[in-house]
Every structure is written in structure tokens, then in C-alpha cells.
Chains A and B, each alone.
With several copies, the nearest count.
Chain A
Amino acid sequence: MRISTLSPHSSRDLNAAAAPLIRVSEVTKQFRLDDGREIQALRDMSVELGQSEFVALLGPSGCGKSTILRLVASLESPTSGLVEVNGRPPAELAKQHRLGVAFQDHALLPWLDVAANIALPFKVAGLPVDEKQVSELIRLVGLAGFERARPKQLSGGMRQRVAIARALILTPDVLLLDEPFGALDAVTRRQMNIELQRIWSEQRITTLLVTHAVDEALFLADRIIVLSGRPGRVIRTLDVPFARPRHADIMRSEAFHRLCDELTDALETPVEQTI
């Protein structure tokens, strides 16, 4: 199923770690507000992800990061331009249950408890629930003991961790993570980063991660894309030079700090901000 064709015309083949699995090309996305005004969320945006590549998106609030993820997840369609996964419309990926997504707003089902929320993708895919894997993931995100708790009985960070576990449960082919660790304290976040790194190294899931933490992006990603303020455009692309597997220690290295500063500077480019 994972055949991907290498496009000879792509200008980004060099950046891609492998043949592009996900292609967002020349996409513009406009939204209309109630008062009739158009918001341009993305303008001529192009991003490509190769097979098994881990790409992080950085950018100011409201620049269209979530919109890119939603385009790849086929939850939005572009106003103009093309989104493809494996040369096919992105909706097919979802239909084959090969997509794992953690939304910015968690989207837990209020009537299911933690274990059932995490097991939901199995049920939706019509697969038998792998109870062992569910409890393994619950342990991994530090929610052991809360299997029977319902979303409203969890803290903000705990809910987010349920959403992460749910995104991982089916070992998807493509993983889309929208600020998955935003509500976590630094320590828990670090643990989660390390776990995600481990899982990724084992399964090499093609991953698109939206994050606000530069160090997180550097620690996890193969490539980092920095977006401008709205309308979002790519203003900087960085191939992360650290070899894998990466140990948490690299975060203390000189090179790491230098790249951190570099990206932070890139993010601080004055923002256009038109509606």
C-alpha cells in the first residue's frame, strides 16, 4: 500500500527525506466571516513530506498551522491548489484507517471513559480492541488508575494526553499532531517527547507536528518549517542535523542552542497581519 511515486519536477525533493508521501502544493485557503469579509489563512503554501519523515511546523498564532493539518486530514478543501497523499486525495488515507490525529481541542467523547476513548479507533476501524495495547498506552501517557474516569473528571493536561494516546493507538501511517503537548508541564512534556521519539524510531510514522516550542521541534523533527504570520507562507526551512536515535542530552548541546536561537530569530520576523 505504501508505494509513492517520485515526482521529477518537484523542487523540494532534496529537502524531503524520501519520495513525497504528502504533498501540499500552492495551496491558498480563504475563510469567509459572517460579515462577508474574507480571511486568507494560507497563501500559495507548499509543503512536502517524504515517507517516514518527521516535519514540524512553527509559526505565530493564527497563521494557518491547524489549517494545514486539517487540509492534509481532508477536513478542509483548499480554495486553490492541491493536497495529495501518495498521489491520491487525502480522504482515502482516512478511509483506510491509516491516519492518526490529535486535535488542538482534544475532541474526546464525553460519554466514554478514558480507556474507551483511547480504544475508539479500533472500534471505528472494525478491529477487535487490543486491550493490552490500550492499557500500555494509558500507562505510557501516565494515566494509569484513570481508565474509568470520564473526560470532565480530568485536568486539562490529562485530557490532552488521552488525545495523544488515541492518535497513536492504531500505529497509523501518517500522524498529525496539533500542539499535542501544549497543556503539559515541562517535565511531563519532556517525558512525552522522549516517548514519541521512541515510538517514531520504532515505527517511522510520517509525522506532521504543529508546535510552539522550538526545542521540541528540534528534538523531534527531521525538518522544521517556519511560517509567516497570516496569511501563512513558508519563510524558513531547516533540516535538523542531529543523528538518530537522539538522546535527551542533545538539548544541552551547543549546536542545539544555536539552532534554537536561529529559529527563534526567524519567528520574530515582523508580521504582516492583514485580515
Chain B
Amino acid sequence: MSELQPLEGTGVRRNAVGSLLASLKSLWGILVIVLLWEFWVTASQLNTIVMPRPLDVVSDIATAPGIYFASMAQTLLLAMAGLTLGMFVGTALAILTWLSRILAGLLTPLGLIFASVPVVALIPVLARIFGYDIRTVLAIVVIISFFPAFVFTSAGLRALPLGSDDLFRVLGASTFRRLWFLAIPAAVPEWAVALRLAAANSILAAMVAEFLMGTSGLGHLFHAARADLDMSRALGASAIATVISVVSFLAASGFEKKVRQNWS
């Protein structure tokens, strides 16, 4: 890793080399992991039913882009819908508990219960309630996303700038206006952290849920491929999930960074 720094200095002159090195700067970790994988599979001569090489996975994706794309679209759509709904419910509940002492008393412990439930343990139960299909997958993603939204928004609604709470009290702000003009804006940075965590998790949660019960999507593709001992395809599905999860995480990170700049 350390040899990257001097290289970087000299590479700036040429644009292409420069941008390559710039991306190396952020991608070295992933590169190391992939190289270790390749090296390890080669060295220990593992059969593909145990572990294929990175290239096997890539070539499998290349040979059947249609299958991958259909599954990806399905999972992505579900994850996004669940994320939106979960963030909405979590934020709304956090706001409700902020608004009313009684609701706070009634709902906070329940929110905490839901927030602390190991959701995967609930999959069998939810599957019974919602059915063995995408509705349960959606429910899982909603619960997973609900969790950080509730926790972080609750904290953010109370992380007010110095003296601002006093200010709003002397301005005679109604609870609603205190919420709208103070607490909600103050909570935006923390909310962005929640989004960051939830965005990455939503894809993964959808994948686990599909794995256990779905009939479509990347999790199902993984499950079916594993049943056929087609590990290249199984890992291909995982790789796609990884990529979209990382991309949504990075997009949410960018959003958070922007928010933080404008909020302090």
C-alpha cells in the first residue's frame, strides 16, 4: 500500500495514468481482496463447487446477462421500495414520539423492540403473515430500514444547535413549528447517516429474504444456483448484490457529506 504514494506523485502528469491511480487510491482494498481470492483458489486448487475464481464469476455474468439483469431489477426495486417505506415509517415514528410525551412513552419501547429484533429471525413468522413471496421480502426491508431511521432521527431531533432550543421557546414557537423549523432541520445530518446505513442494508436484507423464501430476485438466483452447485452463478448473484449495495452506500454517503457541509 505504501508504494502507492510515490507513484501517485509522478502519475499526475499524464491524465489517464493519473485517474487510474486516483481510482487505485480508493479501490486498493477491493483489489487486494479479489487478488487474494484468485491466489487462494489457485494455490489450494479448489474445485468450482467449493469456490470458483473471480474470472469464472465474471464470465458467468457475461454469458447470462439477461438472467442477472432480471433478478437485479427485481431486487433493486424491492430494496428501494422497502427503503423508502422503512425510512418513512421510522422517521414518522421518531417524529411522533418527539411530538407527544404520551406517544413517546407508548411507542419508544415498542420502537426499540422492533428496532432491536433480529429481523432475520422473524422471516419465518413474517412469511406466514404476508405470504411466501415478495410481500414478505418487502416487509423485511421495511423493518431493516425502519431501524436506523428511527434511532438516528430520534437522536437527531434532539441534537439542537447551541442555544436554539431556548431561542424557540422565547419566540413562543408552537410544538409543530419547533418541529418544522428547528428539530427537523437539525435532524437532517443524522437522518442522512441512517440513510447511508439503511441503503447498504436494504439490498442485503432483500437478498437474505429472497434466499429464504422468494421465488425471484438475486437471493433466489443465489439459492437456485447453490442448489445446483453452480457456485459461479451463486457468487455472480452475490457480486451483483455487492456492487449495487456499495453503489447505494456511496450515493448515500455523498448525500450525507453534502448535508453536513450545508448544515454547520
Q: Do chains A and B touch in the complex (CB under 8 A)?
A: yes
Residue among A94, A105, A106 with the most chain B CB within 10 A? Answer: A94
> Contacts A107-B162, A110-B161, A110-B264 known; A74 to B173 CB distance under 8 Å?
no
Contact assessment for A94 and B161 in the assembled complex, using a CB-CB cutoff below 8 Å: no
Closest 9 A/B residue pairs (Cβ): A107-B163, A94-B172, A124-B173, A101-B170, A97-B172, A95-B172, A124-B171, A107-B167, A73-B170
12 further A-B contacts with Cβ under 8 Å, apart from A98-B172, A124-B173, are A73-B170, A99-B171, A106-B163, A107-B164, A107-B166, A111-B263, A124-B168, A124-B174, A124-B181, A125-B171, A126-B177, A176-B170
Chain A residues 98 to 155 lying within 8 A of chain B, measured CB to CB, are: 98-99, 101, 103, 105-107, 109-111, 120-121, 123-126, 152
- Give complex CA distance A106, B141 in Å: 43
Q: Does B29 contact A (CB under 8 A)?
A: no
A75 within 8 A of partner (CB): yes
Chain A interface residues (CB < 8 Å from chain B): 70, 73-75, 93-99, 101, 103, 105-107, 109-111, 120-121, 123-126, 152, 176
Q: Is the interface of B mostly helix, strand, loop or mixed?
A: helix
> Does B5 lie at the interface of the complex (its beta carbon under 8 Å from any beta carbon of A)?
no
B262 within 8 A of A: yes
Among A75, A96, A111, A123: residue with most chain B CB under 10 A: A111
For residue A75, which residue of chain B has the nearest CB?
A: B166
How distant is the Cα of A57 from the Cα of B182 in the complex, in angstroms? 31
Tell me the complex Cα distance, A97–B171, Å. 6
Establish whether residues B263 and A121, one from each chain, have CB atoms under 8 Å apart when the complex forms.
Answer: no
B171 engages A107 (CB within 8 Å): no
Please name all residues of chain B whose beta carbon is closer than 8 Å to the beta carbon of A94 when the two chains form the complex.
169-172
Smallest distance from the beta carbon of A32 to chain B beta carbons, Å? 13
Closest to A95 in B: B172
B181's partner among A74, A120, A152, A176 (CB-CB below 8 A) is: A120
Output the residue of B161, B172, B173, B174 with the most chain A CB within 10 A.
B172
